[in-house]
Amino acid sequence: MKIGVVGAAGRMGRMLLAAIANADGAVIAGGVEASGHPDMGTDLGALAGLEPIGVVLTSDAQALFDNVDAVIDFTVPVATMAHAVLAKNSGTALVIGTTGLDAAQQNTIETAATFAPIVQAANYSVGVNVLQGLVEQAARALPDAYDIEILEMHHHHKIDAPSGTALALGEAAAMGRDVRLDDVADKVRDGIIGPRKSGDIGFATLRGGDVVGDHTVMFAGPGERIEITHKAASREIFANGAVRAALWSIVRKPGLYSMKDVLGF
């Protein structure tokens, strides 16, 4: 299967190239970056820290979508919008890892998914997808007296907050309580904010160093506290999951799929 990567010179892009090279049945068929990127023309094997493969980094996303079976996109929201339109026009499978999309951008993806198979996940690790299931179960089992707080920490380069994974964990908790996250999310606390509102789902964000991604969901109840934590030690877990999603997506009908669909949860 021919897999292409957009944002191929980014932190995740390079990991994705290496993961494709190591995956059975997958070949690196192309890599694209924003025009003017300093690595333009560099061999994709070298970008991934491997032997050269004779395919170089370009800025031609259209040609990539026309010539591969699936494209993996871990870039920035505005670029992901352009790639969703290319997937829509070409019918090429698209795996989206980019986080921080707003509601209008999410609509664009949903429209594109009526023409092409699209997998979208805030987190492609198996562990976080299991965690989401556990959080939903715990939220369903515990009464509202157990305050739900979600704490996340990432490296200092990360541009969106709370992380897409923290929000996905919030969605899982809200689903367990049969409420909409938008109605109960408390993302900013500063100054005299008064007592905590019962039923809210709170978020706290830490940024620093080279932390790949830590998430803790707390259920703080009367006299006891449950904490469920996931710590990512390497970006490889996301890259391997995304390549698995790409191989899975190629034979699917158009539609918007999640990592849970890919894993069969």
Q: Does 124 bind ligand NAD (CB under 6 A)?
A: yes
Relative to beta strand 224-232, strand 213-221 is: antiparallel
CA dihedral 124, 130, 136, 138 (to 10 degrees): -140
Residue 162: CB minimum distance to ligand NAD, A: 11
Q: Sort residue 213 into left (φ over 0), alpha (ψ -120 to 50) or beta.
A: left
Closest CB to ligand NAD among residues 184, 247: 247
Structure tokens at 225: 């506290």
Residue 242: CB minimum distance to ligand NAD, A: 7
Structure tokens at 147: 């305050």
Residue 129: CB minimum distance to ligand NAD, A: 10
Specify whether 157 is catalytic: no
Applying CB under 6 A, which of residues 29, 33, 90, 172 lies at the interface with ligand NAD? 33
- Non-local (6+) Cβ contacts of 188 within 8 A are none
Q: Does 12 bind ligand NAD (CB under 6 A)?
A: yes
Q: Does 131 bind ligand NAD (CB under 6 A)?
A: no
Residue 160: CB minimum distance to ligand NAD, A: 6
Q: Does 4 bind ligand NAD (CB under 6 A)?
A: no
Applying CB under 6 A, which of residues 1, 3, 6, 72 lies at the interface with ligand NAD? 6
CA distance 84 to 200: 34
Applying CB under 6 A, which of residues 65, 74, 203, 219 lies at the interface with ligand NAD? 74
Give buried/exposed letters for 10-38 (b at 16+ CB in 10 A, else e).
Answer: bebbbbbbbbbbebeebebbbbbbbeebe
Q: Note whether 31 and 47 are within 8 A (CB).
A: yes
Applying CB under 6 A, which of residues 21, 122, 184, 201 lies at the interface with ligand NAD? 122
**How many other CB atoms sit within 10 Å of the CB of residue 217?**
26
CA distance 36 to 13: 17
Q: Does 65 bind ligand NAD (CB under 6 A)?
A: no
Residue whose CB is nearest to ligand NAD in the complex, by number: 10
Site residues for ligand NAD per CB under 6 A: 6-7, 9-13, 32-34, 37, 74-76, 79, 97-100, 121-124, 164, 238
